[in-house]
Structure 1
Amino acid sequence: MTVISLVRGPHERASSVALPAGPLTVAARQVAASLIGDMGNRWLHTRGVAARAAELAGPLGVDGDLLTAAAWLHDIGYAEPTVVTGFHPLDGADHLTRHGWPVRVAGLVAYHSGARFVAAARGLSELLAAYPDERTVLADALTYADQTVGPSGLRVDPAARYAEVLHRHGPCSWNALVDADRGPYLRAVTGRIEHLLALPAAA
């Protein structure tokens, strides 16, 4: 099995994590490194989410190359060259579309971690609707990976991760504004994924 090295990049530490090296994953990691590889914690978080996604794919029975690629790309909308609206899921998806990425990858990036709730509050739902909102186990797995890795790339409890995000963005943020809808949605995703992970493996 081919392994993508995680020893490259200005903020990277040596790691023994092996990620599936399908074609989407390889390309996605390169794009992410070029856009956010020098963004400190944003890069460390992205690396951690990609590693977590790779671990989840097998137990959940989903396409590991697609899931891990989306994980590498989920936060590229924070990179200055991609910013148009200032809403990172949409800006990331638009950047991927402009560069010929499959619409399914762009859709996973566009809707990760309950982005549709923030998009609605910001008046961006129509723009987000250009992308498919697949609401599958794979999409849940991307959100779960994002919600179980903190800013420094370390594993965290989903509740602690969500609380940290709300605190970091502040009580007047878009995240706080949509908390009544987005919070229960993220808890439901966690419940669905952890239920699947707890099921006995097929014989």
Structure 2
Amino acid sequence: MATDVKTIHGKNVFLFVRKLKDAKTAEGKLIPFQTSLSFDPSRDSDSTQTKSGVVTTSAAIETDLSAEFINNTSAIADALYDSLFDGDELECWIVNTERKNASGQYYSFYLRATVSEDSNDNDPDDLSTREVTFAVNGTPKRGWTKLPESAMEALEYAYRGLEALGENDTNGTAWQSADAGINLED
């Protein structure tokens, strides 16, 4: 097995969404608190037996896309309802934060879709959850995308120290593996 082949962890694959009509003015936004993401492109095929052998034909790509998340009050969670109720077309990115190219861009799929179903579970002893299913238009495109700073912050917050921030956005130093065992005495 090749040593440079790495596994992909589902916890590092995220769905970002934006209304298509907002493409010139807004960034794609992470759907907060995702618990699962299912991406299933497929192609039906048919075969016909001929005197010379089997001839196969392939249909167009059909893509199933769904996401589950803890229900929340984010604008992007509301935009999913807008897509379902008003037919707003969405741009969707499935971003793998474990796979980067030399330019620092992340491997991703780009899709255009509308929400076809939005199931909401509201058990009294648990958090409200939603499962959203998308109707994908056309064939997903593969590529590489940069993640804006706001997207990185949505994925993971940065370490901060105890002092008042003032003009700084940190004031502490994030842990690094080289810090293991450090314990300097005064």
TM-score norm. by structure 1 comes to: 0.23
Q: Between Structure 1 and Structure 2, which shows a larger proportion of strand residues? A: 2
Q: Between Structure 1 and Structure 2, which shows a larger proportion of helix residues? A: 1
**Higher radius of gyration, 1 or 2:** 2
